[in-house]
Structure formats: structure tokens, C-alpha cells
Amino acid sequence: MKKIASLLFLCFLVACSGENAYEPKEINPDIDVCVVCNMGIAAEQYATEAILKDGTVYTFDDIGCMMEWMNQQNDDDIAKLYVRDVTNGEWVELEQAVYVYNATYWTPMSYGVVSFANEQNAKAYMEKEGQGQLWTYEQLKQHRWGFEQ
């Protein structure tokens, strides 16, 4: 009995000592929908996620939907924000990603912003498309989001 109590106490200490990692969850295109536009997440490489401090995960089909959602949230509730590198599907923290914008780029909700893990991937995408503007996170925040662009 003493060993069980010690083991439970050790598990309790381990659980309490670490911070929540707030890792993105895998997308299930059969059930996940964007919390802003209610569209299914069919093009997973464009999906984004917001994780609240209470562990709630919100999924978005387009970075523009997430940015519009963020404009209506209390930043103190948000633990982590993730986008995906569209070239390989790798999750990247919103503030660490590199962005490319062009109004004619196809994205699920036609916002025209595409995210990348690094500048090399972003520049290769722009070269392939023949157009686009390289953006930082700060430029992304300054953008006027909406369908009326």
C-alpha cells in the first residue's frame, strides 16, 4: 500500500511540475470544421489552430478565419496559435512563421495568405506562382481581414 501511495504522489508531482505543452492536434477532415465559417477542413495544409490556456482547441480552415477570430478574443486566454507550412504540412507557431500574400492565391476562404516554416519555402512558393509579397507576422497583424478585399 505504501508503494502505491508513493507512486501516486510521484505521478501527482510530475503532473503538477510541468507546463502544458499546448501542442496542435491532428486534423480529422471527416469531423473538424472551422469555428468561424463552419466549413469542413478539406485542405489540411491550410488549416490553423488556436489553443486556449484551458486546453480548448479551435480549428480554422484558413488563416484569415483565425485572424478574424483573434480580433474578437481576449489575448490572455490564448496559449498558442499554429499555422501550417503549406509545402509539407508542418505545424509552425503563428509568430514564427513566414507568410506570402497575393489576392489571387487560392486558399480555402480566398484570403490569399499562405504560411511557411521558413523564408526559403516562402520564396520558392512565390517563384513557382510568379507573384506574391513576403510578409512577417507584424505585417500579417496589420492586414485588413475580410472578404470585401
141, 64 Cβ separation under 8 angstroms: no
**Domain limits for position 40:** 21-142
Residue 54 lies in a domain: yes
What pLDDT is attached to residue 75? 84
Residue 15 lies in a domain: no
Residue 55 to residue 36: CA distance in whole angstroms: 19
pTM for the full predicted model: 0.82
- The count of C-alpha atoms lying within 13 angstroms of the C-alpha of 116, restricted to the half-sphere facing its C-beta, is 19
pLDDT band (50, 70, 90) for residue 147: low
Residue 1 lies in a domain: no
Residue 64 lies in a domain: yes
Residue 99 lies in a domain: yes
Query: For 74-122, what is each residue's pLDDT tens digit?
Result: 888 999 999 999 999 999 999 999 999 999 999 999 999 999 999 999 9
CA 38 from chain centre, in angstroms, equals 16
Residue 85 lies in a domain: yes
What is the number of structural domains in the chain? 1
What pLDDT is attached to residue 1? 52
Mean pLDDT of the chain: 87
Q: What percent of the chain has pLDDT over 70?
A: 84
- Checking if the pLDDT of 7 tops 50, the result is no
Residue 7 lies in a domain: no
Query: For 21-45, what is each residue's pLDDT tens digit?
Result: 899 999 998 999 999 999 999 999 9
Residue 11 lies in a domain: no
111, 64 Cβ separation under 8 angstroms: yes
